[in-house]
Amino acid sequence: MAVALHVDSIDLYYGAARALKAVSIEARPAAITAVLGRNGVGKSSLLRAIVGVHPVAGGEVRLAGSALGKAPPYRRARLGLGYVPQGREIFPLLTVRENLMTGFAALKGDERTIPETVFTLFPVLKDMLARRGGDLSGGQQQQLAIGRALVTRPKVLILDEPTEGIQPSIIKDIGRALAFLRDEMGMTILLVEQYLDFCRELADSIYIMDRGEILHSGPAADLDQPEIRRHLMV
Ligand SMILES: Nc1ncnc2c1ncn2[C@@H]1O[C@H](COP(=O)(O)OP(=O)(O)OP(=O)(O)O)[C@@H](O)[C@H]1O
């Protein structure tokens, strides 16, 4: 069943520096929501707060209406949050199969299998199951990181700059995979990005962030507005 993710007015600090200021967003069920903004505006911090790897100082994250409170990351994974972190965080010395199996930690014993969808979406992973994660290209590692998140059977898939440093052909594969997960599996997807064209083609709705705050929200077509494009230029 498709579920929504709500972020209500969260604050996040690094020491005395406030990185998120009363940020509220909604990721609608079976839709792709993109958060855009320049370097350092707080996009990764927002995702880290949602998945519970950094504590919030105020506000609330709700999954399918239930507040997550102070639930640690492993519990959020069990409740249905899948996370693909920035930089992918593949284990370089583990094989592709072992990297995928690290997702089993979020599953009950009888659910510990790699879903066939992972290999349908990313056939290269099947060919490379016995290879070490560190031997894969950046794009293949990104596919592996998404595959590992899918192993946990997420209701909401959260991705931190999935196109960063990746060649165009693999960006297309990743875009197609995300569209399939939304359209055919009803998955709720939240991603942060700096690549405008990727978001314009793929996203249903967008948020624009600046200095820890949400400046604008609307349909992805808003990315065509000159004012918004100017704002996102580095
Ligand atoms: N561990 C940390 N300790 C202190 N400050 C941090 C830490 N992580 C991030 N920051 C600061 O918080 C702010 C937001 O960073 P964040 O990584 O969330 O931004 P971002 O929009 O994801 O940028 P990028 O695209 O570069 O990842 C920045 O000013 C950054 O320097």
Q: Which atom of ligand 1 is nearest to the CA of 20?
A: 14
Question: Per-residue pLDDT averaged across 152-158, rounded?
Answer: 96
Centre a 10 Å sphere on the Cβ of residue 156 and count the other Cβ atoms it contains: 25
pLDDT of residue 109: 81
Tell me the three state secondary structure of residue 10: strand
Residue 82 scores a pLDDT above 90: yes
- Residue 39: CB within 6 Å of ligand 1? yes
Calculate the average pLDDT of the chain. Answer: 94
pLDDT of residue 1: 60
pLDDT of residue 88: 84
Question: Per-residue pLDDT averaged across 12-28, rounded?
Answer: 96
pLDDT of residue 111: 86
pLDDT of residue 234: 62
Beta strands in the chain (DSSP E): 5-14, 17-27, 32-36, 58-63, 66-67, 81-84, 156-160, 188-193, 205-210, 213-219
ipTM comes to 0.93
Cα-to-centroid distance, 41 and ligand 1 (Å): 7
- Tell me the percentage of the chain whose pLDDT exceeds 90: 85
Q: Give CA angle at 56 (52, 60), nearest 5°.
A: 85
What are the CB-based long-range contacts (under 8 Å, 24+) for 99-103? Answer: 99/133, 99/144, 99/148, 100/125, 100/144, 100/147, 100/148, 100/151, 101/151, 102/148, 103/148, 103/149, 103/150, 103/151, 103/152
Cα-to-centroid distance, 209 and ligand 1 (Å): 13
Ligand 1 pocket mutation, candidates 7, 35, 44, 86, criterion most atoms within 8 A of CB: 44
- Residue 37: CB within 6 Å of ligand 1? yes
What is the spatial distance between Cα 160 and Cα 84, in angstroms, rounded to a whole number? 6
**5-9, 57-61, 164-168: the lowest-pLDDT one:** 164-168
Q: Which atom of ligand 1 is nearest to the CA of 160?
A: 22
Look at residues 32, 70, 54, 34 and name the one whose alpha carbon lies nearest to residue 160: 34
pTM for the whole thing?
Answer: 0.94
- Residue 117: CB within 6 Å of ligand 1? no
Domains defined along the chain, listed by start = 5-232 (3.40.50.300)
Residue 144 scores a pLDDT above 70: yes
Residue 59 scores a pLDDT above 80: yes
For residue range 86-143, what is the model confidence (pLDDT) as tens digits? 988 999 999 999 999 998 888 888 889 899 999 999 999 999 999 999 999 999 999 9
Ligand 1 atom 6, closest CA = 14
Half-sphere CA count of 169, side-chain side, radius 13 A: 3
For residue range 170-195, what is the model confidence (pLDDT) as tens digits? 999 999 999 999 999 999 999 999 99
Ligand 1 pocket mutation, candidates 43, 48, 194, 234, criterion most atoms within 8 A of CB: 43
Residue 227 scores a pLDDT above 90: no
Question: Per-residue pLDDT averaged across 14-40, rounded?
Answer: 96
